[in-house]
């Protein structure tokens, strides 16, 4: 037993048993969390006070976040900590007089109203410590699945849970697993899609950085269920911290017998390798992703054959989003019925959203599917800087939800009905100071830059559409340009090779559907109602 140092004597005398968690997710690190952790460790880091670095606690724009827990007391969250403020706060806690400065209310909606299933352990465990993950229940579902269930039963359980792909498509996960399980061929593969490229999306990064073992566990269970021995995690190059933590987690899990040969003595072997993207949005498309994993140019190929039929190196391949794999362990642990009880019929379980833009608190939220948009906004503290105008879902492939539809339950079908998509879960909130044609223009330029260039409609169509939107923003467009833009958009939807090209015009069509008068004001009156578009050379009309 370690004897407490001199500076801890007082602390021990006053009760100790304090657990201080410092968020070490990318956003908190960017605002100085590493310094806060160092200062706390230097000042208080000896038993019985525990200072640990954890993953994301949720309210990213309020970082660095710390949480102080003490037996018998509710956890206290503090926002925007500096090293000095953090030390003072801990001292005050030890003195029995917790300060109000920087403290979030106990019922702070962003934290209190979440239903955390996928992010269960994010912000609670040390992502660099396998023991921390196992103590919190990590790999228990794996032991259960390979020890007590047949692959058929695992697939059946996932199918019964009603889980749907969280990458945006919403395809039933159980059906996909069953297809790969039933496929012939000796070599099969499991791939986790961590190429989260949509502007405003950072759910998968949060999970990979905060609880990498959850992803590994889901993948090993999937490998067991479909009969694969090899897995790949494709992480975008812009996520170095996620890649580093995943790499360490793979090594640790391998040493502990949870990965690699003869997992937990069951005779089942499965290894996972990491692949880092090189900055192409299109690699989030599954056929392009597979090409990249195999070392080829990351561009899509025509489906069918689907990856389940012929994927990596010709073998049947299961590709799921990171968040989808994150749902697996809780489903195996608690059963399909438990999962189905959350959300709405046909949309079971929870969904992680990354909310950003004009809201009081930006960050990562997990709520049951079917939660109204209004509730999500309320959890984020409401719209900032003006009144609510629209929320963009699904990033560059999605559309927006206007103010009149704030009570829409956020599920796959309801969003589709509004001309947008669930997408991977990025939610960008815009207030009434934002110009919607400018938003459409931003996304079209994004798609133009990110088009792989293989098929003609996407490569050339995005170039022309971006030019037309530039003309609209500059006050140079005519009504002919407007109809040409709409024609181009429908053309790209119908004729592009892959999903990204088909979805590239969605932001334009969606803003045209809800905010056509704003476009008309740019074209007819040569005036930007919000004053965002510069309209150089156009005489002032007011």
Task: List Cβ neighbours of 73 (8 Å cut-off, separation of 6 or more).
Answer: none
What span, in angstroms and rounded, lies between the C-alpha atoms of 276 and 417? 36
Q: Is 516 in the site for other proteins (CB under 8 A)?
A: no
Q: How many residues touch other proteins (CB under 8 A)?
A: 31
Contact between 69 and 50 (Cβ < 8 Å) = no
Least spacing, CB of residue 467 vs other proteins, in Å: 6
Least spacing, CB of residue 268 vs other proteins, in Å: 37
**Cα–Cα–Cα angle for 353, 448, 437, nearest 5°?**
70
Q: Determine the interface stretch with other proteins among 232-240, 354-362, 387-395, 495-503 (rule: CB under 8 A).
A: 495-503
Q: Tell me how many helices (H) and strands (E) the chain has.
A: 22, 15
Least spacing, CB of residue 280 vs other proteins, in Å: 7
Contact between 73 and 65 (Cβ < 8 Å) = no
Least spacing, CB of residue 471 vs other proteins, in Å: 9
Least spacing, CB of residue 449 vs other proteins, in Å: 6
Contact between 533 and 439 (Cβ < 8 Å) = no
Give the closest residue to 447 by CA, choosing from 426, 428, 466, 419. Answer: 466
Q: Which lies closer to other proteins via its Cβ, residue 153 or residue 487? A: 487
What span, in angstroms and rounded, lies between the C-alpha atoms of 189 and 230? 5
Among 190, 401, 497, 508, binds other proteins (CB under 8 A): 497
Q: Which lies closer to other proteins via its Cβ, residue 255 or residue 296? A: 296
Q: Which lies closer to other proteins via its Cβ, residue 337 or residue 456? A: 456
What span, in angstroms and rounded, lies between the C-alpha atoms of 158 and 222? 10
Least spacing, CB of residue 76 vs other proteins, in Å: 49
**Which of the 8 DSSP states describes residue 265?**
G
Among 413, 487, 516, 524, binds other proteins (CB under 8 A): 487
Strands 230-235 and 188-194: parallel
Q: Count CB-CB contacts under 10 A for residue 9.
A: 11
Among 71, 107, 407, 494, binds other proteins (CB under 8 A): 494
Least spacing, CB of residue 440 vs other proteins, in Å: 18
Q: Count CB-CB contacts under 10 A for residue 73.
A: 11
262 to 321, contacts with other proteins by CB under 8 A? 280, 282, 297, 299, 302
442 to 481, contacts with other proteins by CB under 8 A? 448-457, 459-464, 467
The contact set with other proteins (CB under 8 A) reads 280, 282, 297, 299, 302, 448-457, 459-464, 467, 484, 487-488, 491, 494-497, 502
């Amino acid at each position: 037993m370690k004897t407490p140092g001199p500076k801890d004597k007082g602390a021990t005398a006053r009760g100790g048993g304090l657990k201080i968690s410092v968020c070490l997710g990318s956003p908190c690190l960017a605002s100085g969390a590493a310094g806060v952790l160092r200062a706390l460790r230097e000042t208080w880091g000896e038993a019985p006070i525990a200072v640990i670095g954890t993953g994301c606690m949720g309210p990213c724009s309020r970082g660095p976040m710390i949480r102080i827990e003490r037996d018998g007391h509710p956890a206290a969250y503090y926002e925007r900590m500096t090293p000095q403020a953090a030390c003072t706060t801990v001292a005050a806690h030890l003195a029995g007089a917790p300060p109000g400065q920087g403290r979030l209310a106990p019922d702070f909606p962003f934290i209190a109203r979440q239903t955390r299933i996928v992010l269960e352990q994010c912000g609670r465990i040390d992502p660099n410590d396998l023991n921390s993950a196992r103590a919190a229940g990590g790999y228990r579902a794996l032991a259960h699945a390979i020890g007590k269930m047949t692959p058929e039963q695992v697939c059946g359980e996932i199918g019964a849970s009603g889980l749907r792909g969280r990458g945006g498509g919403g395809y039933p996960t159980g059906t996909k697993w069953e297809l790969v399980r039933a496929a012939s061929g000796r070599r099969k593969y499991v791939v986790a899609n961590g190429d989260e490229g949509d502007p405003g999306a950072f759910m998968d990064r949060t999970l990979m950085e905060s609880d990498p073992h959850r992803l590994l566990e889901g993948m090993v269970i999937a490998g067991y269920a479909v009969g694969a021995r090899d897995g790949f995690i494709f992480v975008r190059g812009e996520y170095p911290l996620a890649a580093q933590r995943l790499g360490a987690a793979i090594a640790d899990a391998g040493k502990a017998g949870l990965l690699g040969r003869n997992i937990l003595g069951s005779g089942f072997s499965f290894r996972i390798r990491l692949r880092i993207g090189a900055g192409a949005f299109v690699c989030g498309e599954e056929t392009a992703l597979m090409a990249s994993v195999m070392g080829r140019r990351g561009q899509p190929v025509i489906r069918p054959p689907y990856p389940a039929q012929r994927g990596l190196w010709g073998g049947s391949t299961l590709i799921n989003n990171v968040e989808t794999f994150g749902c697996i362990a809780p489903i195996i642990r608690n059963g399909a019925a438990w999962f189905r009880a959350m959300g709405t019929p046909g949309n079971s379980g929870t969904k992680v959203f990354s909310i950003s833009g004009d809201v009081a608190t930006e960050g990562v939220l997990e709520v049951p599917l079917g939660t109204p948009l209004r509730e999500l906004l309320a959890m984020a503290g409401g719209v900032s800087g003006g009144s609510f105008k629209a929320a963009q879902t699904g990033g560059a492939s999605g559309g927006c939800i206007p103010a009149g539809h704030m009570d829409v339950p956020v599920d796959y079908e309801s969003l589709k009905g509004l001309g947008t998509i669930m997408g991977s879960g990025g939610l960008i909130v815009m207030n009434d100071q934002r110009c919607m044609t400018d938003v459409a223009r931003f996304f079209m330029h994004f798609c133009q830059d990110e088009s792989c260039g293989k098929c003609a409609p996407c490569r050339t169509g995005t170039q022309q559409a971006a030019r037309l939107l530039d003309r609209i923003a500059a006050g140079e467009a005519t009504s002919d340009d407007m109809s040409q833009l709409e024609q181009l958009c429908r053309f790209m939807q119908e004729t592009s090779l892959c999903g990204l090209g088909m979805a590239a015009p969605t932001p334009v069509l969606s803003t045209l559907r809800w905010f056509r008068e704003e476009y008309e004001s740019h074209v007819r009156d040569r005036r930007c109602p919000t004053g965002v578009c510069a309209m150089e050379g156009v005489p002032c009309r007011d």
